[in-house]
A and B are shown apart, each in its own frame.
Chain A
Amino acid sequence: GNSVTQMEGPVTLSEEAFLTINCTYTATGYPSLFWYVQYPGEGLQLLLKATKADDKGSNKGFEATYRKETTSFHLEKGSVQVSDSAVYFCALEGPTSNTGKLIFGQGTTLQVKP
């Protein structure tokens, strides 16, 4: 069945460092891919998404490209800030499209130190 695998955290970076959080998926077909972020004490928020191969989602300086050949959707940011400290979840919509059902990775905690 469909699944999502994220790199294990926590990830600790200094402010202005480059961030990569790896995400790979297993799916039949070409599902939409998402990154959600959860700040302390808040609900998950959509960070960015991509709906087809080679699409690049971007928001708030974060980017991720839908790579069909490597079944990956890695999250990147060129210069992180302390305010980016949160838990990041990679997800895909499945098992079929347009159901609203999401399959999540286990989440990666990011801690950015000043």
Chain B
Amino acid sequence: GAVVSQHPSWVICKSGTSVKIECRSLDFQATTMFWYRQFPKQSLMLMATSNEGSKATYEQGVEKDKFLINHASLTLSTLTVTSAHPEDSSFYICSAPPGQETQYFGPGTRLLVL
């Protein structure tokens, strides 16, 4: 079946640094990808929709200057957490729909900001 990968699977960084997370669709093209954030024992919260060839659309309350999204190609979207702080520590998950009715999720990236 279709696979979505994320890299890295986990990252530890110092406060104030920036971290880039990649999301790739391995065997299909995706003009749209989604980025979610999950806190421990809580649900996944949609952060933004990544659009190939145009700007990302952010959900209410998500800082677009904090979470930079670039949909570089039909198989790659990146999320950059800029000037990361401990409160940004979380589990970040991307998804990509190869069609209208299906979505495939990446395995997630765990970010710990010290």
Contacts and interface: CB of A to CB of B under 8 A. Distances in A.
A21 B44 CA distance: 18
Given A43-B93, A46-B102, A102 B107 contact: no
A54 B106 CA distance: 31
A43 B41 contact: no
Contacts of B46: 101-103
Given A43-B4, A43-B104, A98-B100, A89 B44 contact: yes
Contact of B107 (A36, A42, A100, A107): A42
B113 to A, nearest CB: 23
Interface residues of A, number: 18
A104 B37 CA distance: 11
Nearest to B5: A43
Contacts of A101: 34, 46, 49
Nearest to A99: B49
Contacts of B36: 104
Interface of A: 4, 36, 41-46, 89, 98, 100-107
27 contacts: A36-B105, A41-B107, A42-B107, A43-B104, A43-B106, A43-B107, A43-B108, A44-B93, A44-B95, A45-B105, A46-B103, A89-B43, A100-B97, A100-B100, A100-B103, A101-B34, A101-B49, A102-B34, A102-B44, A102-B46, A102-B103, A104-B36, A104-B43, A104-B44, A104-B45, A106-B43, A107-B43
